[in-house]
Structure 1
């Protein structure tokens, strides 16, 4: 097995969906096959945008692309994709983060490996990039973001350092990354009510909802998330509300949700608030899964949260 850097451009001629599949030509087949069951880092080249290194994922298998001679698909392991909490720049203090792109004097190389869409990535370079994009102490950063840190943290308690790969699969850590990315994508505004509420300490009163749950092979990409208030999150998870095929009209199970509740909770136009970056918009397939598997089903046991006055 080997780790890789995979170049991704949103307007590429290749049909990539970073959290689902990576489309590539035969010239990279051997390298990608060697990376099956291992991790890759996604990279946005200079001409495509400013992001640099922006996510990690794991390749589960490689298959020929149907009806496309000489093209192949690297299938991403469901649930493995994780966006970086902070995008990692191409250069740090003027030096590349990849050894293969660095001249002996530390300056960036030109041409050659720099232009490859698939690059082998040594373990040390992989760990370095991930540690920049997904900080070891991210859970602590989030826990103390709006509140004073507990006394034991304020006194400089030592951070328990988890190995990089353990961090990438640890559910509590992934949940923190997902929550931070989704809420930020919507500007801390509820996607269904349009409201942006904060408590007295400045903490945003909006949650991050998975459209397709992780236990149902959903992933942690922003495109599988909606920023929702607590009440609407509860209703969404229980199939009382969903999003129509046009990816913007809010659907309501009217036989289960009283009309006055709809008027109090949802945006007047009945439309979904869009994220600030169009690339973060909910994926149509995730919304379809929710409509077909969650919307309108029988309500499970459990109390509903109180509605706002």
Structure 2
């Protein structure tokens, strides 16, 4: 197995969806096949945007692209995709993050390997990029964000340093990374009420909801998340509310949710508040899954009390 860098552009003409599938030509087939079962890092080239290295994922398998000669699909292992908390530039302090893109004198190479859409990535380079994008101390950073001295960071305590791969597969760490990215994408505002509430210490009350749950092969992509207040998160998970196929109209199970509850909790126009960056908008396929598998079904036999 081998680790790779996969180049991805948000407006690519290919059928890429970083948390689901990567579309590539035959010229990279051998390299991608070698990476099956291993991790890759996604990279956005400078001309396409400012993100640099922006996420990790694991390749599950490679298949020919249906009805397209000479192209293949790298299928991403469910639950493996994780966006970086901090995007990592290709060049840091004058030196490239990848050894293959570095001249003997330490300066960046130009052309050639720099332009490859698929590049092999040594273990040391992979670990360095991930450590910058997903810091070892991310859980501690989040815990101390609104409490400078939380109980778990008592004076003299040293945070436990986990190996890179253990960190990438550990659910509590991934939950923190997902929550930080989703809430930030929506400006700490609830996508369905439009409210941005903070407690006395400045801690935002909004939560990060998976549209398609992880246990149902949902990913930790921001596009599989909604920033919701606690009550609306509860209602969304139980199928009382969802989002229509126009990706903005909020659907309500009116036979279970009284009109006065709707009026108090949802934005007046009934439209989803969108992230500032369109690339973070909920993916239509995730919303479709929620409508078809959760909305109006989960509570069919369970009475709801609104007292």
TM over 0.5: yes
Residue 264 of structure 2 corresponds to residue 271 of structure 1: no
Query: How far does residue 13 in structure 1 lie from its aligned partner after superposition?
Result: 2.1
The equivalent of 1:117 in structure 2 is 117
Structure 1 unmatched runs, 5+: none
The equivalent of 2:21 in structure 1 is 21
**Contact kept? 2:143, 2:150, Cα under 8 Å:** no
Unaligned runs of 5+ in 2: none
Q: Deviations over 1:43-78 (max 9, x none)?
A: 000110000000000000001111111100000011
Equivalent residues of 1:238, 1:300 under 8 A apart: no
SS at match of 1:66: coil
Partner of 2:148: 148
Q: How many residues align?
A: 307
Query: 2:67 matched to which residue of 1?
Result: 67
- The answer for the alignment partner of 1:52 in structure 2 is 52
**Alignment partner of 2:203: what SS?**
coil
Cα distance in 2 for residues equivalent to 1:235 and 1:281: 20
Which residue matches 2:190? 190
Question: Aligned with 1:68: secondary structure?
Answer: coil
Corresponding residue number in structure 1 for 2:93: 93
* Partner of residue 139, structure 1: 139
Contact 1:52 1:87 survives alignment (8 Å): yes
Partner of 1:180: 180
Q: What TM-score results when the alignment is normalised by the length of structure 1? A: 0.96
TM-score (norm 2): 0.97
Contact 1:234 1:304 in 2 (8 A): no
> Quick check: 1:288 aligned with 2:288?
yes
Paired position in structure 2 for 1:168: 168
CA 1:111–1:268 in structure 2 vs 1: closer, same or farther (change >3 Å)?
same
Q: Deviations over 1:166-217 (max 9, x none)?
A: 0001000000000000000000000000000111111111000000000000
Provide the alpha-carbon RMSD of the alignment. 1.7
Q: Does 1:262 find its partner at 2:262?
A: yes
Shift of 1:147: 1.1
Q: Summarize the alignment of residues 225-264 of structure 1 with structure 2, pairs less than 5 Å apart.
A: 225-264=225-264
